[in-house]
Amino acid sequence: MNVEHLLVLAEPSSPSVSALRRLAPGLRLTVGLTVEQLAPAIEQAQVLLLGVQKKEVLRALLPRARSLRWIHALSAGVENLLFEELIHSPLPLTNAKGAYSGSLGEFALAAMLFFAKDLRRLVRQQREARWEQFSPVELRGQTLGILGYGDIGRAVAERARPFGMRILACRRQPSRSAGDTLVDELFPLERKHEMIAASDYLLLALPHTSGTHRLMGAPELGAMKPGAVLINIGRGSTVDEQALVKALEEGRLRGAALDVFETEPLPPEHAFWRLDNVLLSPHCADQTPTWREDAVALFLKNLERFEKGEPLLNVVDKAAGY
């Protein structure tokens, strides 16, 4: 079965749509941001591609999409798309998991090196023309704890292992990582404090769900080693930011590297901006020159599987939220 016509919820002039036209010139596209714009193809379309997360448009569109058999999101996170009718629908929802893992893995490694080598100090001393030697730290022999050991967490482990780091991993279903040769020790979520306390660098790569909201709160931050570093490349909602600010201001942690925040853009009055022990990235660690093409290429790979009747990749557990 060939899919010749694709329904795309996106801005028609968006780079993602341009990438789709370039990578799959044979596909006919009906593109828009409203039900009215998509109306000509709603009833016939078998596949819906989501380039933006517009839950209310999707909710209005779904009852009219009688031929729809599959929905794919160009994002990895889908929590802002889910609503009761979709969750209980038999329609499969897939996402772009994996398309952004490599770049996020590199950011996490850069963050660890930033603090291990005290790069902020080097820049400051160079600016001040000040020759002052100090002792940088190696990553070799340090412990990396990964809270949320999914595709992104594993990508970080792949990059940290060659540096000689010890890898600890914690996830809701540890059995899914049983036998993983990158992991020195695997923890269930109930033992997260044990892993947190053993980590020199703690990576958060958690999705946003009701169960992960502020999962990294004051007790968890208090369990971290003095001088440890927190890195968050998952969702800002998983961290109690005020508790983190307090831990950083009091010097209980060496620092934090953050690519995601509870409120984005980060308000200009937020304490993170002024803390010298924070490395702040404006939620763009995965926005490499090819990130859109990579996400579209993954969708087209899945489209080929759909056309052949093969199992789809990256099927979302809609009830779990990821």
3-state SS record for 241-264: HHHHHHHHHCCCCCEEEECCCCCC
Q: Is 264 part of the annotated catalytic residue set?
A: yes
Distance CA 77, CA 141 (A): 33
Would you call 189 helix, strand, or coil by DSSP?
helix
d(CA 130, CA 121): 10
Take residue 146 and report the two structure tokens written for it.
């990964």
Annotated catalytic residue, options 72, 171, 208, 235: 235
**Catalytic: which of 59, 193, 283, 305?**
283
Taking the C-alpha atoms of residue 119 and residue 281, their distance in angstroms, rounded to an integer, is 15
Q: Tokens for 280?
A: 């702040």
**Catalytic residue status for 213:** no
Structure tokens at 148: 């949320």
For residues 146 and 104, is the Cβ–Cβ distance under 8 A?
no
53 Cβ partners below 8 Å, 6+ apart? 73, 75, 78, 80, 81
- Active-site residue, 283 included: yes
Catalytic residue among 43, 138, 264, 304: 264
Q: List active site positions.
A: 235, 264, 283
